[in-house]
Copies of this chain bind each other. A is one copy, B any other.
């Protein structure tokens, strides 16, 4: 009964002009089998509208539950980039079956797309672009656009290719509209085309589109042959996804590959978050063993323990600040390779200034609290050293990771935490041991 009603609501709303994305929420609470039931009852065009709004893993799940006929129909209706993503979620057998359901041409297009890694320009591009020869007139071009428009992902850019399929120019629909009649394409096209290579990382692609305010960017191979385009709506998805990935990695909350962290099951989330905790636990035990080494010092002056939290917290905060600013600066392109050392030396200064400020403050607090000027001195110097070193570690560790082609967002958290804890505690107890006789 419920399934029947939802299908009627969706159908009615689509006719009334509702956006299919808004109607997905109606399916959210249904089981996959119920969802498939709803889709089976919708018309071909209605199903297609709803289906293309779904995430690829959800689509794959549904394809297995739908009748063969419906499944093939839906698959044929997808844009080439979405179809390629969906193929990636299917088993080899399922993929072969789906590919056999579409024409040879499209199938070849698709297998081209599948050659590229999922997070590269080639992996996110679509082949639904419009290309034209250079020697037709503006009116002929508009005429062709009229015919091709329903198939194309975007008609706002038209690409000009030579006989070898090499990209030789680009025209916006705006250029076409404002050009005088009879003008040849080659006389109005821009030859200085901004394009990306098929193996460029999707984050770099997004940066190009964002920098030049493009609505789409063409993807070419090493011989400059036009392979596909990436449209701005996909770029927005990439930017959101990459920002989320960085945020989760910085927090040591694990990978999000194909999982919505806010939706997934408990055991799935635990499996993602636990590894970071275990690394952190090893770090904590190592830091604790530093305290173990100075057991005698601590035994002599138990009150030294009350400053362990503040030294650890402050080092942790400064390290997190430094590594976060560096990692985000890398991601947005604000930090350029050539200026890294200028950036580093500024960070050293910042660490020293903040360390001096906090060091003096905590020394005064320690003096007033415990009434011992030497304790103030020990805690103050330790605070200064810990903060200075944390700022350096928080910059150098992600910098080194970046050099070694390891994602700095992953390692920034646990490594920096352990390193600054160990050094902070070592400094604190070394200085305390040196001043031991004055502390009693």
Pick the interface stretch among A2-10, A34-42, A292-300, A400-408: A292-300
| Minimal beta-carbon separation of A211 from chain B (angstroms) | 6
Q: How far is the CB of A183 from chain B (nearest CB, A)?
A: 13
Set of chain B residues within 8 Å of A397, measured between Cβ atoms? none
Contact residues in B for A324 (Cβ distance below 8 Å): 247-248, 250-251, 253
Binds B, one of A64-72, A98-106, A355-363: A355-363
Q: Are A309 and B295 in contact (CB under 8 A)?
A: no
Asked whether A182 is an interface residue with its Cβ less than 8 Å from the other chain, the reply is: no
Measured CB to CB, the closest approach of chain B to A431, in angstroms, equals 17
Q: Give the docked Cα–Cα distance between A357 and B295 (Å).
A: 29
A308 touches B (CB below 8 Å): yes
Stretch from A17-25, A110-118, A121-129 contacting the other chain: A17-25
B285 touches A328 (CB 8 A): no
Mark A278-298 against chain B: 1 for CB-CB distance below 8 A, else 0. 101101110111011001001
Q: Is A54 an interface residue (CB 8 A)?
A: no
Q: For A244, what are the chain B residues with a Cβ–Cβ distance below 8 Å?
A: 328, 332
Is A334's beta carbon under 8 Å from chain B?
yes
**A337 at interface (Cβ–Cβ under 8 A)?**
no
Cβ-neighbour of A17 out of B192, B332, B361 (below 8 A)? B192
A376 within 8 A of B: no
**A154, B251: Cα distance in complex, Å:** 39
Q: Is the CB of A236 within 8 A of B250?
A: no
Q: Which residues of B contact A321 (CB under 8 A)?
A: 251-253, 273, 276
Say yes or no: A263 contacts B155, CB within 8 Å.
no
B residues within 8 A CB of A145? 177
A277 and B354 contact, Cβ closer than 8 Å, known pairs A250-B251, A308-B308:
yes
Please give the distance in Å from A209's CB to the nearest CB on chain B.
7
A332 to B317, CA, bound (A): 26
Segment of A160-168, A221-229, A342-350, A432-440 in the binding face = A342-350
Please tell me if A78 contacts chain B, counting CB pairs below 8 Å: no
A155 touches B174 (CB 8 A): yes
- A18 contacts B192, CB within 8 Å? yes
- Decide: A309 near B334, CB < 8 A? Known: A239-B240, A266-B349, A277-B317: no
B residues within 8 A CB of A173? 155-156, 173, 177
Decide: B243 and A314 in contact? CB cutoff 8 A.
no
A361–B284 Cα distance when bound, in Å, is 13
Q: Are A19 and B325 in contact (CB under 8 A)?
A: no
In the bound complex, do residue B269 and residue A281 qualify as a contact, i.e. CB atoms below 8 Å apart? no
Contact between chains at B312 and A309 (CB < 8 Å): yes
Question: Interface residues of A toward B: which range?
Answer: 35 or more
Contact between B210 and A350 (Cβ–Cβ < 8 Å)?
no
Q: A252 is contacted by which of B281, B317, B334 (Cβ under 8 Å)?
A: B317
For A278, the chain B residues whose CB sits under 8 A away are: 358, 361
Is A367 close to B, CB under 8 A? Answer: no
- Which one of A211, A239, A313, A324 has the highest number of Cβ atoms from chain B below 10 Å of its Cβ? A313
Cβ of B298 and Cβ of A305 under 8 Å apart? yes
Does A142 have its Cβ within 8 Å of any Cβ on chain B? yes
- Asked if B310 contacts A284 (CB within 8 A), the reply is yes
Does A246 sit at the interface, judged by CB under 8 A? yes
Q: Are A354 and B251 in contact (CB under 8 A)?
A: no
B273 touches A354 (CB 8 A): yes
* Minimum CB–CB distance for A423 against chain B, Å: 12
Collect the chain B residues with CB atoms within 8 Å of residue A190's CB.
Answer: 17
Residues of A within 8 A of B (CB): 16-19, 21, 142, 145-146, 149-150, 155-156, 173-174, 177-178, 190-192, 194, 209-213, 215, 232-233, 235-237, 239-240, 243-244, 246-248, 250-253, 260-263, 266-267, 269-270, 273-274, 276-278, 280-281, 283-285, 287-289, 291-292, 295, 298-299, 302-303, 305-314, 316-318, 320-321, 324-326, 328-329, 332, 334-335, 343, 346, 349-350, 353-354, 357-358, 361-362, 365, 369, 387, 413, 417, 421, 425
